[in-house]
């Protein structure tokens, strides 16, 4: 056997058999284990049977004793606890932190009610995506945001550069990077009932996208009702010295039903939920409009602009983008990143950016970009896997219905 697809999420490589170099295939540079960063839960993962792999410079569990398939199904039936402490949490503070952030993201930050947040995109001058992020307006003078681990250095350098310029013109903004905290994600139907055991605050009043600073299991946590699976759930920022205790408490309160879940299942879950993975489905050259995230561009922002690349994005909103992100079902082997998408006559119309076998739907699912005009649901396509075309069709996302906790 010879493997081409790597376990490195965000860099999954589809086997291109025709072009592969026999000798090159198995050789891949990995940072030595000593160079990899460890989260506060590293030993906890290993003790629980975690299979540790390098990811974005960290040693992270790709799975535990159960298979990725079982783990993914369990999240939607019971629940999952993920260590996402590799992601970077930061706070922007100051009188002008809202107008400052608005120069960098497409969200209507001023329009967010205190204690609410949203998914947004950091854009570059060409209207492409630097990263996606969940931002929360805690108060008018405090914004809390989380960015991807793989983009940490890039994002922080970008924010710092613009912050310096903003301050030199008299703006009042400062930042704090929460390296003293660890982020855990608790997702699934049991997330709220289990977490409720660990806090006195009434979680039934905390809806999707809302944020609260509260005591959980004896420590002050930042709690956001959000996630990356499509299920109801939370992301919990806990002081790192209490991270293991919190993880233990969550698992115990669920009586084993909520399982520690790794990055392998996390990727399957977010794909089923139709969510982008930066580095695969969103990149520097892809705009939020092309990625189907027009809803994340605030109404006022569409009229006013004021963020990097606004001219490009506003034009795409007017004329329509030339490519669009869509979902696919297909037969045969699962379509993977970089597989070509052809129309029924064999003309190339797009490319897959993420794909795999859905453990919950038990069929192949994928997402990718196709030329506008060819993007309607139901459009029949052919997807090339290892040089052979397989039947597929375009479908809407999410593939698995989301269960976000919203007021009725």
Partner 1 sequence: MALRMWASSTANALKLSSSASKSHLLPAFSISRCFSSVLEGLKYANSHEWVKHEGSVATIGITDHAQGHLGEVVFVELPEEKSAVSKEKNFGAVESVKATSEILSPISGEVIEVNTKLTDSPGLINSSPYEDGWMIKVKPSNPAELESLMGPKEYTKFCEEEDAAH
Binding residues: 235
Q: Considering the complex, what minimum distance in angstroms separates the CB of residue 41 from partner 1?
A: 15
| Full DSSP string of 210-252 | BEEEEEETTEEEEEES--SSSSSEEEEEEEGGGHHHHHHHHHH
Residues of each annotated binding site for substrate: 235
Q: Is the CB of residue 289 less than 8 Å from the CB of residue 316?
A: yes
Tell me the C-alpha distance between 71 and 75, whole Å.
6
Q: Considering the complex, what minimum distance in angstroms separates the CB of residue 270 from partner 1?
A: 13
Binding site for partner 1 (CB under 8 A): 1-7, 12, 14-15, 17, 25-26, 28, 30, 33, 46, 49-54, 63, 65-69, 72, 264, 267-268, 332-334, 336, 356-357, 359, 386
In this structure, is the dihedral angle defined by the CA atoms of residues 108, 172, 240 and 202, taken in order, positive or negative?
A: negative
Burial 211-227 (b: 16+ CB within 10 A, else e): bbeeebbeeebbbbbbb
Q: Please, which residue, 67 or 347, has the CB nearer to partner 1?
A: 67
Q: Please, which residue, 16 or 396, has the CB nearer to partner 1?
A: 16
Q: Is the CB of residue 78 less than 8 Å from the CB of residue 189?
A: yes
Q: Considering the complex, what minimum distance in angstroms separates the CB of residue 366 from partner 1?
A: 13
Q: Is the CB of residue 366 less than 8 Å from the CB of residue 330?
A: yes
Q: Considering the complex, what minimum distance in angstroms separates the CB of residue 383 from partner 1?
A: 13
Q: Considering the complex, what minimum distance in angstroms separates the CB of residue 50 from partner 1?
A: 7
Q: Please, which residue, 16 or 176, has the CB nearer to partner 1?
A: 16
Q: Please, which residue, 33 or 161, has the CB nearer to partner 1?
A: 33
Q: Are strands 79-83 and 258-260 parallel, antiparallel or unpaired?
A: parallel
Q: Considering the complex, what minimum distance in angstroms separates the CB of residue 271 from partner 1?
A: 10
Q: Is the CB of residue 130 less than 8 Å from the CB of residue 124?
A: yes
**Cα torsion for 235, 366, 72, 219, to the nearest 10°?**
-10
Q: Please, which residue, 33 or 179, has the CB nearer to partner 1?
A: 33
Q: Please, which residue, 54 or 288, has the CB nearer to partner 1?
A: 54
């Amino acid at each position: 056997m010879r493997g081409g697809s790597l376990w490195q999420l965000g860099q999954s490589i589809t086997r291109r058999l025709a072009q592969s170099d026999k000798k090159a295939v198995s050789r891949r540079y990995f940072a030595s284990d000593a160079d990899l960063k460890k989260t506060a839960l590293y030993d906890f993962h290993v003790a629980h049977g975690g299979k540790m792999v390098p990811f974005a410079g960290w040693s992270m569990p790709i799975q535990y004793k159960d298979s990725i398939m079982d783990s993914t199904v369990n999240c939607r039936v019971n629940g999952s606890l993920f260590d996402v402490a590799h992601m970077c949490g930061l706070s922007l503070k100051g009188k002008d932190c809202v107008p400052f952030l608005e120069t960098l993201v497409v969200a209507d930050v001023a329009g967010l009610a205190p204690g609410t947040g949203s998914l947004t995109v950091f854009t570059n001058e060409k209207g492409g995506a630097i990263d996606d992020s969940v931002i929360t307006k805690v108060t008018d003078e405090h914004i809390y945001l989380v960015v991807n681990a793989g983009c940490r250095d890039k994002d922080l350098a970008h924010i710092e550069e613009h912050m310096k310029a903003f301050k030199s013109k008299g703006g009042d903004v400062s930042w704090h990077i929460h390296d003293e905290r660890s982020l855990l994600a608790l997702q699934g139907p049991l997330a709220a009932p289990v977490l409720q055991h660990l806090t006195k605050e009434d979680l039934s009043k905390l809806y999707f996208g809302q944020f609260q600073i509260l005591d959980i299991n004896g420590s002050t946590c930042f709690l956001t009702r959000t996630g990356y699976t499509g299920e109801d759930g939370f992301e919990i920022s806990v002081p790192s010295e209490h991270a293991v205790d919190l993880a233990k408490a969550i698992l115990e309160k669920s009586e084993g039903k909520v399982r520690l879940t790794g990055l392998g299942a996390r990727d399957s879950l977010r794909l089923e939920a139709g969510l982008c993975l930066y580095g695969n489905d969103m990149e520097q050259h892809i705009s939020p409009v092309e990625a189907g995230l027009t809803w994340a561009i605030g109404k006022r922002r569409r009229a006013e602009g004021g963020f990097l690349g606004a001219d490009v994005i506003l034009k795409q909103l007017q004329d329509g983008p030339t490519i669009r992100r869509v979902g696919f079902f297909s037969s045969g082997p699962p379509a993977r990143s970089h597989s070509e998408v052809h129309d029924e006559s064999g003309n190339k119309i797009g490319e897959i950016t993420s794909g795999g076998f859905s453990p919950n739907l038990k069929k192949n699912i994928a997402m990718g970009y196709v030329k506008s005009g060819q993007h309607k649901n139901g459009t029949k396509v052919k997807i090339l896997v290892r040089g052979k075309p397989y039947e597929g069709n375009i479908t809407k996302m999410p593939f698995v219905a989301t269960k976000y906790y919203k007021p009725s």
